[in-house]
Each structure stands twice: as structure tokens, then as C-alpha cells.
Amino acid sequence: MTDSLKDWRRTHYSREVKPEMNSPKVTLMGWIHEIRDLGGIIFLLLRDRDGITQITAPSKKVSAKLFEEIRSLRKESVVAVEGTVQESPQAPGGVEIIPQRILLLNTSHQPLPLDPTEKVRAEIDTRLDSRFLDLRKHSVNSIFKIKSRMLHSVRVFLENQEFIEINTPKLVASATEGGTELFPITYFEREAFLGQSPQLYKQMMMATSLDKVYEIAPIFRAEEHDTLRHLNEAISIDVEVAFADQKDVMTLLENLVANAIKDVKEHCREELDTLGMDLDVPETPFPRVDYAEVVDLVNSKGVNLHYGDDLSRAAEKALGEIMDSYYFITNWPSEIKPFYVMPNRKNPKISHAFDLMYRDLEISSGAMRVHLHDLLVERIKGKGLNPDSFNRYLAAFQYGMPPHAGWGLGAERFTMCLTGAKNVRETVLFPRDRRRLTP
Ligand code: ATP
Ligand code: MG
């Protein structure tokens, strides 16, 4: 083992090693994926960032010292290998490396708590406990390469439209919407909370002339339930636009989503193949389905949903059987949407809120907001909340607040759509749920 890479420099990644390459001598660095010792010949599989290369060591072709060094290697130890490239139809990728020297950079304990070769399947809890090993699997790290590309594409899309990226506090004095979904914390001698949404702050930005803002940041929800769609810490892609209504931001959202899918499809071909995903770029505009129509639709499927109820899981599932791609649910009853959602002027029982769904999964909620101070106070009271606890927020509505609209898109829920993950935990490096606070 060594603490020095002196004289060693990685020249290639595995995926770059090709039989026809014109640099016959290469240096690769990575982990020992597999070892097959046949006595007179040892095969090593070396795995790096996105590929695997066979290292072939016949006792006749390598020095006795090197042969013994290779024989003593253990799975998942970290090595640097220098050798010559040779065509080999039987080897993965049709190529193998005959080693000239090997540097053992670090050893791995045995047995492994998890098998990165995926021959032995493990439960999600075991995998999450040893996430660093789990992430050595291509099928697992592909999800994060896709998530990264999606976030990149979202940023580029918004920046191209002159949105400004903002950062709002995650330590907050009171709830965004009331409710019990809050994590209380001790803030010196006071009680405070972890932010459940940047909602009130991004709205205040609408009174500043910044006009179009976005934030990609954690939201914290103390949801007790243990589902395949809920995390206690998630990443929200939040957008707010001034001088706009719900229709404007629905158009923005569907174009952003379709653009991200197209971008991932173009740039993550290999990762999508690994996951067995065939992404279709959805046509825009997405279908709009009225909330009242949703109630009829799901009831026709035997679900018992009353007008005025939020969608139950059964209702979402029934909808998912009818709708097979992305669609909006519009014209929600005001009663089940938060106080900051604008009611329809002609029929205030209906609101300017919308949800974006993918089959049975809600991925975004948004609305035109209330920009009129007195109506906002009335709505806060109507929800049984005390307007005094919203003083600093309400002040922004008294000195020139333009009409505005926005939405929050869950980065993990969207990643589930892009990767086919059935459990939202698959889309977070270190998920936080009802039972999990480590690693
Ligand atoms: P749900 O009804 O599915 O619990 P919600 O309506 O409470 O979600 P919103 O407050 O509308 O969620 O948040 C906007 C978006 O943020 C959601 O559509 C979702 O994509 C994401 N999101 C919200 N809560 C969570 C969570 N606990 N875990 C993962 N993503 C979440
Ligand atoms: Mg919602």
C-alpha cells in the first residue's frame, strides 16, 4: 500500500480503452470489481467512474513478483494499473490490459457489507446503510447523473429566460402555511423551525422588481407517514414570476419539464439504457383536467372522492390508470388550497391553483397568488391563522405588490419520472425519512 501517486498519472478511463487505440500503454485507476484466479492466469476486472476493463495477467507474461502481488489483491481494493492494451474478443469491450506494474492504493475489508457487482441483491435499507458502496453500482449512480443533468437543464432553461437565482433562509420563525408538518428547532433562546417552503420569501421578492426568481434548495417536512413518495428533506425547484397569472407559469412549467426530458434523453443515453428507460418527450401543451372532472373520473373507477376533498392515494392511483403521461389538474376548490392562492373572481369557491401530475404522482403545485393585502388577510383568517404572525410578509403587500404566480417542482419526484424509480429514496444520496437520520 502507498500514500503516494508519485510517478503515476491516470491516462484513461475504462470506457476510453479501445482495441484500436493508438496509445498502447495506459494507466487506469479504480476498484477491483472481480478477481478470477485460474492458477496460471489471473483475470482482474477494474472498475472506474463509468466502465470496467479486464486486466489479464498470465504467469508466463508478467514477472513472478507482479504475479504474486496481483494474486494477493482483494475485491474493492483501490489500485492503479499500468499496462499494454491488447485486442481480446472474449474480454468485455473486446480489449484487455497486460499489466506491467500495479500500485495498491488502499485495501478493502472483507467480507463486504454489500456486493457492488450486483450479483447479490440487497434490500433498500442495507443499501442505504452502505450507500458509498451502493453508489459504485452503475445502475445506482446513473440515477444521480440523470438528476444532475436535469438540474443543469432546469438552471440553463431559467437563466436563458433571465430568471435570477435566489437563496432564502431555511431557519424560519413561523410556519409557511400553518399545519403540523414542521420541524421545531432551538434558535438560541427561542423556538424556530426548518423551512417547509420558500413560498413567503419568493413572494416577497415579487415586490422588489427582481420579477422572475428561482431557488433550488431543501425543504423540510415533518410528515409522519412512511410512503414511497415522501421524504422529510427534499429538494424543491421553486419559481415565482411577477406580472403573471397561473396560465403563464403553467406554460413555463410544461416547457421546462419537456425541455429537461429532451436534454436528459440526449445527454444521458448510457445511463437511461442502464436503467432500461426509454424516455418519451411529452408534447406541449400538456392536457388540462378540471378538478371537478377528476372527481367524476376517479369515481367512475370506483373511488369514493367527494368534491372538496384533496386527492386520496386511491384517487391518484385511479387517475394514473387513465392518464399515462404529464397533465395538469386545474380549478381546485379554494378551500383545500393554501391562503396565498388566488380565488377566482367570479366564483371564489374555485381557485387559480394547479398541480402537475405524472400518471399517479404529483410533481408540482402552483398558482396565481393573492397580491391584494386585504384579501390576503381575510384568507389567512379564513384558514384559522393569525395575521399578526405574518406581519413582515404582509408588509410587502402594502407598498406596491404586482400580481404574480409561481410553482414548486419536487426535484426527487421529477427524477423518479426520469429514471423509473419506484421509491423516492432511490433518488436521494442520503435520504431522510421517518426512521432514517444516518448516514
Ligand atoms: P403531497 O400531496 O404529494 O404530499 P404536497 O402537495 O404536500 O405533496 P407541495 O407543498 O405542493 O406538496 O410541494 C410542491 C412539490 O414539492 C410537490 O408537488 C412535490 O413534488 C414536492 N414535495 C413536497 N413534499 C414532498 C416530500 N415530503 N417529499 C418529496 N417531495 C415533496
Ligand atoms: Mg401540492
CATH of the domain at 204: 3.30.930.10
User: Mean pLDDT over residues 317-336, rounded?
Assistant: 97
Peptide bond preceding 439: is omega within 30 degrees of 0, i.e. cis?
Answer: yes
Residue 410, ligand 1, Cβ within 6 A = yes
In a domain, 313, yes or no: no
Say yes or no to pLDDT of 225 above 90.
no
The Cα–Cα gap between 264 and 418 comes to: 8
The ligand 1 atom nearest the CA atom of 410: 20
Which DSSP helix (H) or strand (E) runs through 261? helix 246-267
With cut-offs at 50, 70 and 90, classify the pLDDT of residue 201: very high
Helix (H) or strand (E) holding 233: strand 233-242
> What is the number of domains present in the chain?
2
pLDDT level of residue 178 (50, 70, 90 thresholds): low
pLDDT at site 224: 86
175 shares a domain with 83: no
Distance 83 CA to ligand 2 centre (A): 56
Ligand 1: atom nearest CA of 407 is 14
Ligand 1 in contact with 177 (CB < 6 A)? no
Structure-block grid coordinates of residue 318: 385511479
Q: Report the atom number in ligand 1 closest to the C-alpha of 232.
A: 27
Q: How many CA atoms lie within 13 A of 76 on its CB side?
A: 16
> What's the whole-number mean pLDDT along residues 255-280?
98
Contacts of 236 (CB under 8 A, 6+ apart): 197, 198, 215, 216, 217, 218, 219, 408, 409, 410, 411
Cβ atoms 178, 154 nearer than 8 A: no
366 C-beta closer than 6 A to ligand 1: no
* CATH number for 68: 2.40.50.140
pTM: 0.96
pLDDT of 180 above 90: no
Residues 95 and 180 in one domain: no
Q: Are residues 73 and 10 in the same domain?
A: yes
Tell whether ligand 1 has an atom less than 6 A from the beta carbon of residue 236. yes
Q: CB under 8 Å to 32, separation ≥6 — which residues?
A: 44, 45, 46, 47, 73, 74, 75, 76, 77, 79, 108
Atom 4 of ligand 1 has which residue's CA nearest to it?
230
- Residue 23: pLDDT band (50, 70, 90) is confident
Residue 177 above 80 pLDDT?
Answer: no
- Residues composing the chain: 439
Residue pointed to by grid coordinates 476486472: 45
Phi, psi of 91 (to 5 degrees): -80, 155
Quick check: is 156 in a domain? yes
Looking at all shown ligands, the one closest to residue 357's CA atom is 1
285 CA to centre of ligand 2 in angstroms: 20
Q: In ligand 1, which atom is closest to the CA atom of 411?
A: 20
Beta strands (DSSP E) in 59-157 are 78-87, 95-106
Same domain for 331 and 195, yes or no, is: yes
**Best of 250, 253, 365 for a ligand 1 pocket test (most atoms within 8 Å of beta carbon):** 365
Say yes or no: 329 and 401 in one domain.
Answer: yes
The CA distance from 383 to 72, in Å, is 69
Q: Which domain holds residue 23?
A: 5-106
Is residue 300 within 8 Å of residue 307, measured between CB atoms? no
* Contact 408 CB / ligand 1 (< 6 Å): yes
Task: Please report the pLDDT score of residue 96 as a whole number.
Answer: 96
Task: Please report which confidence band the pLDDT of residue 176 belongs to, taking 50, 70 and 90 as the band edges.
Answer: low
Q: Given the CA of residue 361, which atom of ligand 1 is nearest to it?
A: 3
Q: What percent of the chain has pLDDT over 70?
A: 98
Task: Give the mean pLDDT of the chain.
Answer: 96
- So what's the pLDDT on residue 113? 96
